Chain A
Amino acid sequence: MGEKVREFEAKGLKVAALTYDAVPALKHFSDRAGITYPLLSDAGSKTIRAFGILNDSIPEDNPFHGVPYPGTFIVDAEGRVKSKYFEEDYRERVTAAAILLKEFNEGGRQGTEIETPHLKLRTSASNERAYAGSRLTLLLEVELPERMHVYAPGVMSPYIPISWTLDDSKAWEALPVTLPPARTLRMDAIKETVPVFEGRLKLTRDIVVGQTAATTPALTPDGELSVKGSFRYQACDDKVCYTPRTIPLEWRIRVNPPDRQRVPAPLRGKLR
């Protein structure tokens, strides 16, 4: 989140986070992690309840009772909700990057959907967390509206086939893309057949995460590997071909070992 604060502020938005931790625990975390934005102490979960997002699947006698369903609101100057981002799966994290994407259409990140005038893209990965040397699969799903198609590799010029590239980096090794079989489209007007994709298609490619010496210099301050790439395509429908587009994409993979550091025992827990 921290590195994105400046980007939000450039859009006239300030940032704050709210937890049920008491102020001393927030201070400890803030100092340790170098947090530059306010962390609000909702000890007792009064505000969490007022918002109606208390996670009520956790029984009262459980130490985690009081946590919210995690999510983010973007509100305007009058406090009206402009948009909100909530995780349906506790394991997922709607990152600040994903919020920036959805709000301001900047690039594409893991687990997000991007909509262009011609198609929808969805990026995801087999793992959110990986270790040095491990191999994981990046997924790129493309959804085309009716009558729209894109071209498969091998199509003849001047048609531009889809291509999914990943940036070169010492921090990972990118393996080739796996594509589904293309459909052969016959274009009667010019008496040609072309290989195309229509409807939904799923592209995968594996990457092998490098060894620690290679990945550490490439990690973000959050301890994530930012695997950047792009998807290029030319979309055509039954009447016209549209200008080819290149869409920047990003997958974020956590490579650091989990942070096991806790706040000191006397500061732990929440006030009730």
Chain B
Amino acid sequence: MRALLLLAAVTCWAQTIKTGPAVGERIPSFRLTDQHGREQTLETLRGPNGLVLAFVRSADW
């Protein structure tokens, strides 16, 4: 909770956020390791209709 308050103090005056690739654009390719040590890419992660990819601040706080 304290961590979130500190982040709040840093970002509370940020006016514009950045939201990355626009609708219709392709996302950048990536190759990342998941919590079980498996390498993952869009191809390994996606279902038949695609992928819901959530960018989260932290799993720790």
B interface majority secondary structure: loop
Q: Are A73 and B49 in contact (CB under 8 A)?
A: no
Shortest beta-carbon distance from B45 to chain A in Å: 5
Q: Report the minimal beta-carbon distance from B54 to chain A, rounded to whole angstroms.
A: 4
Interface size class of A (residues with CB under 8 A): 35 or more
> Are B11 and A58 in contact, CB atoms less than 8 angstroms apart?
yes
With contact pairs A27-B35, A53-B18, A53-B55 given, residues A14 and B26 touching in the complex (Cβ less than 8 Å): no
Contact A81 B23 (CB under 8 A): yes
Near B by CB (< 8 A), chain A positions 67-98 give 67-84, 86-88, 90-91, 96
* Given known A-B contacts A51-B28, A53-B55, A76-B49, A41 and B33 have beta carbons under 8 A apart: yes
**Contact assessment for A21 and B28 in the assembled complex, using a CB-CB cutoff below 8 Å:** no
| Across-interface contacts of B42 in A (CB, < 8 A) | 75, 79
Are A84 and B20 neighbours in the complex by a CB distance under 8 Å? yes
CB contacts (< 8 Å) of B33 on chain A: these are 23, 40-41
Contact assessment for A47 and B6 in the assembled complex, using a CB-CB cutoff below 8 Å:
no
Chain B residues near A230 (CB-CB < 8 A) = none
Binding site for A on B (CB under 8 A): 1, 3, 6-8, 10-14, 17-30, 32-38, 40, 42, 45-61
5 A–B pairs (Cβ distance < 8 Å), ordered by A: A38-B34, A58-B7, A64-B7, A69-B18, A73-B27
